[in-house]
Amino acid sequence: MKTLLPVAMSDIHVHLEPRHVEELFGRGHALTKWRYLTIPGQFACRETVEVVGPSGRVPGAVVVGPARRQTQVEISLGNGLVLGIDPPLRESGRLQGTPGATLVGSAGSVVLESGVIAAARHIHMHPRDAREYGVADGQRVRVRVPGARGLVFEQVVVRVSEEYALEMHVDVEEGRAAGVVDFQLVELLG
């Protein structure tokens, strides 16, 4: 059974629904690809937004394309302290009952009623990977990061899809806490 897999850190970013792309960047605007992510078909855009909350603002949140069905803002707990928003820990796409925020783009702004989360740490796997690592979609596993700041993450959600490539994702605070270098190998402990 395989155990080693790469890890990457996600800084504050947003996924946008089509009408929000237009409201933030102008009528008929199409997102501009900056670089592909490890998730096939997903890309970081040149467009960024400022996220605004009750107590502060965080500029430079990268837009991740392509547009999605529902706008989602992924922040760290540290971002939350600046914004005055306490983000619930959620899996991507599970937005019911989440707090909102205001997004400011180059051509306008959008007031979200909900959509702000702290993303639960997770591993993306293709079904072939899931077989090779002996885990199943939705399973929670432990993952060890070696090194001077070594630690074992618990409560890591396995997410399996034909559309995923093998990679663990943590936020920047989780990554720094563990001394993670993007794309280093970590160990799935099961």
Rg (CA), the chain: 17
118 or 160: CB nearest its own copies: 118
**What is the identity of the amino acid at 13?**
H
- Residue 39 CB contacts under 8 Å (≥ 6 apart), including other chains: 124, 163, 164, 165, 167
Assess 172 for contact with its own copies (CB under 8 A): yes
For its own copies, the closer CB: 30 or 77 = 77
Residue 168's identity, in one-letter code, is: M
Instruction: Give the largest CA-CA distance in the chain.
Output: 51
Residue 20 or 122 with smaller CB distance to its own copies: 122
> Measured from the CB of residue 52, what is the shortest distance to its own copies in angstroms?
20
- Positions in 135-164 near its own copies (CB under 8 A): 148-155
Secondary structure of residue 22 in the 3-state scheme: helix
Pick from 29, 177, 184, 187: which binds its own copies (CB under 8 A)?
177
Complex with its own copies: residue 121 or 124, whichever CB lies closer: 121
Residue closest to 120 by CA, chosen among 174, 51, 164: 174
How many other C-beta atoms are found inside a 10 Å radius of the C-beta of residue 104? 17
Choose the stretch contacting its own copies; rule: CB under 8 A; options: 50-58, 102-110, 123-131, 167-175. Answer: 167-175
Site pattern 76..105 for its own copies (x: CB under 8 A): xxx----------x----------------
End-to-end CA distance of the chain: 11
- Which residues sit at the interface with its own copies, rule CB under 8 A? 76-78, 89, 120-121, 148-155, 170-174, 176-179
